[in-house]
């Protein structure tokens, strides 16, 4: 056996591609896998072509190590053969692109960029390139994103659009993971230039910006703050919460009319977004600390018939809305159907227990209790007006 290994080392040292290939193809030869690995270490064009043939074998014991060897190439001489196999012959994308990714030459990098332009190769090329952070790679990924969005705009089959959306998500996540200034700017440009892009992609880009720290939060806050009456931008803000850096960046210079415009947009968002987002929206409204924000929220609270407990608590904490809130809750118990009566009565009781309102309002309603002492409904017992 010692002689055998020594012979294999000699074949590798002397670049005996044919002899190594014969060993590699013979699965009965105990050195078959070692011969394949030797071809990978040689890594010349001839060695790559030999590995490509082995990669096409029907025998997993041969094609699997051949693919592994192709994905670990480091010899720059392998690049022309890899590119020809990839772009001209349609070889297996994954090992060939991984091999290119390990070869630090301009030719290898250009090959990866070119692969991004081929729909068949783009997902695997992206998986290799997302480990890089240089501006040219960012530019290439941004170009791929633009092409995918253009294709979507041209309305292809549903199956293709789903696949295209998936690739777009991968690109946006890759840009976020790069953590570079150029990647941050690419995400910002995407939001600015593609207001009609699918909402899921825009939310993902906004969240990736928030993950970039202060610079990302500042960029997103700037984008949202440019047009506070734009429901899409305000919804992006809400979808990124809780995010203190973003909120602070947005509120730093917010006062007067801009703050009132944001308040109106946030209240509108309460009707447009899932109720799981309501606590975050109410928190933003309270932090604005504007009369207009509380007035708009009070109007929504009454129209929605006490839909949000968080809104009720916020309104109770402020002297300008507290008495009006209590009156409206009592009116709901007096005039509305059972589900609303129950909700309003419970809220009145809880606000009183938490010492946010006095006993005046609570004295005007009576709880109807079940056998276990739990309130099932409320009735109005005050004077008829």
Angle at 347 between CA 346 and CA 353, to 5 degrees: 90
Cβ proximity of 43 and 51 under 8 Å: no
Interval 99-129: pLDDT, tens: 998 887 889 888 888 888 888 888 888 888 8
More confident residue, 347 or 254: 347
pLDDT digits (tens, 9 = 90+) for 63-84: 999 999 999 988 999 999 999 9
- Say which residues have a Cβ less than 8 Å from residue 55's Cβ, sequence separation at least 6: 63, 66, 67, 70, 91, 92, 95
The structure tokens 């720290």 sit at 213
Strands 375-380 and 365-369: what pairing?
antiparallel
Q: Which of 91, 74, 97, 179 is nearest to 132 (CA)?
A: 179
Q: What is the pLDDT of residue 1?
A: 38
Q: pLDDT tens, 13-43?
A: 888 888 898 888 887 778 888 999 999 899 8
Phi/psi at 368 (5° precision): -100, 120
Give the mean model confidence (pLDDT) for residues 188-198. 93
Please name which of 49, 121, 133, 39 lies closest in space to residue 84, comparing C-alpha atoms: 49
Q: Over 90: is that where the pLDDT of 328 sits? A: yes
DSSP 3-state of 43 = coil
Residue 224 scores a pLDDT above 60: yes
- The per-residue pLDDT for 11 is 86
Q: Which of 188, 226, 219 is nearest to 205 (CA)?
A: 188
> What are the pLDDT digits (tens) for 266-294?
999 998 888 999 999 999 999 888 898 99
Asked if residue 207 has pLDDT above 80, the reply is yes
Q: Is the pLDDT of residue 142 over 60?
A: yes
R_g (Cα) of the chain, nearest Å: 32
Work out the angle at residue 270's Cα, subtended by the Cα atoms of residues 266 and 272, and round it to the nearest 5 degrees. 105
Q: How many whole angstroms from its chain centre is CA 265?
A: 24
Mean pLDDT of the chain: 87
Which residue, 19, 76, 9, 87, is CA-closest to 48?
76
Looking at residue 241, its pLDDT comes to 87
Judged against a pLDDT cut of 60, whether residue 157 lies above it is answered with no
pLDDT of residue 176: 92
- For residues 82 and 73, give the distance between their C-alpha atoms in angstroms, rounded to a whole number: 10
Two tokens, residue 311: 């809104």
At residue 5, the pLDDT reads: 47
Measured between alpha carbons, how far is 231 from 235 in angstroms, rounded to an integer? 6
The pLDDT of residue 227 is above 90? no
DSSP secondary structure string, 291-318?
HHHHHHHHHHHHHTTS--HHHHHHHHTS
- pLDDT the model gives residue 93: 86
Per-residue buried b or exposed e for 108-118, using 16+ beta carbons within 10 Å of the residue's own CB: bbebbbebbee
The DSSP-derived string for 327-360 is: HHHHHHHHHS-HHHHHHHHHHHHHHHHTTSS-HH
SS3 133: coil
- Cα 52 to Cα 49, 56, 71: the distances in Å are 5, 7, 11
pLDDT (0 to 100) of residue 385: 59
Provide the pLDDT for residue 185.
95
Contacts 24+ apart (CB under 8 A), 353-359: 354/313, 356/313, 356/316, 356/317, 356/322, 357/316, 357/322, 357/325, 357/326
Phi/psi of residue 200, nearest 5 degrees: -60, -35
Q: Which long-range contacts (CB under 8 A, 24 or more apart) does 59-63 make?
A: 59/27, 61/27, 61/32, 61/33, 62/24, 62/25, 62/27, 62/32, 62/36
Average the pLDDT over 38-50 and give the result: 91
């Amino acid at each position: 056996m010692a002689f055998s290994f020594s012979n294999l080392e000699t074949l590798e040292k002397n670049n005996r591609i044919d002899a190594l290939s014969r060993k590699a193809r013979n699965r009965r030869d105990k050195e078959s896998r070692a011969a394949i690995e030797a071809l990978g270490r040689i890594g010349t064009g001839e060695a790559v072509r030999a590995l490509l043939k082995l990669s096409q074998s029907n025998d997993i014991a041969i094609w699997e190590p051949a693919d592994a060897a192709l994905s670990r190439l480091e010899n720059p001489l392998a690049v022309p053969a890899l590119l020809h196999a990839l772009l001209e012959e349609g070889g297996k994308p994954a090992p060939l692109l991984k091999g290119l990714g390990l070869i630090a030459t301009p030719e290898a990098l250009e090959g990866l960029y070119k692969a991004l332009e081929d729909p068949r190769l783009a997902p695997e090329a992206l998986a290799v390139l997302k480990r890089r952070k240089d501006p040219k790679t960012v530019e290439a990924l941004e170009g791929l994103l633009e092409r995918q969005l253009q294709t979507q705009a041209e309305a292809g089959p549903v199956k293709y659009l789903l696949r295209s959306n998936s690739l777009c998500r991968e690109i946006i996540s890759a840009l976020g993971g790069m953590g570079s200034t150029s990647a941050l700017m690419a995400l910002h440009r995407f939001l600015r230039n593609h207001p009609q892009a699918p909402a899921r992609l825009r939310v993902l880009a906004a969240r990736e910006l928030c993950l970039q720290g202060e610079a990302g939060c500042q960029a997103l806050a700037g984008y949202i703050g440019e047009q506070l009456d734009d429901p899409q931008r305000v919804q992006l803000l809400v979808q990124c919460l809780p995010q203190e850096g973003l909120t602070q960046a947005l509120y730093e210079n917010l006062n007067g009319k801009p703050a009132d415009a944001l308040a109106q947009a946030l209240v509108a968002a309460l009707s447009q977004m899932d109720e799981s987002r309501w606590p975050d929206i109410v928190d933003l409204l309270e932090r604005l600390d504007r009369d207009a924000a509380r007035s708009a929220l009070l109007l929504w609270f009454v129209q929605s018939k006490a839909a949000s407990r968080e809104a009720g608590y916020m309104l109770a904490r402020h002297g300008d809305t507290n008495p009006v809130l209590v009156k409206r809750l009592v009116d709901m118990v007096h005039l509305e159907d059972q589900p609303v009566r129950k909700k309003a009565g419970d809220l009145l009781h809880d606000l009183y227990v938490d010492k946010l309102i006095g006993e005046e309002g609570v004295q005007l309603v009576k709880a109807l209790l079940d056998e276990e002492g739990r309130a099932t409904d409320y009735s109005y017992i005050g004077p008829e007006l």
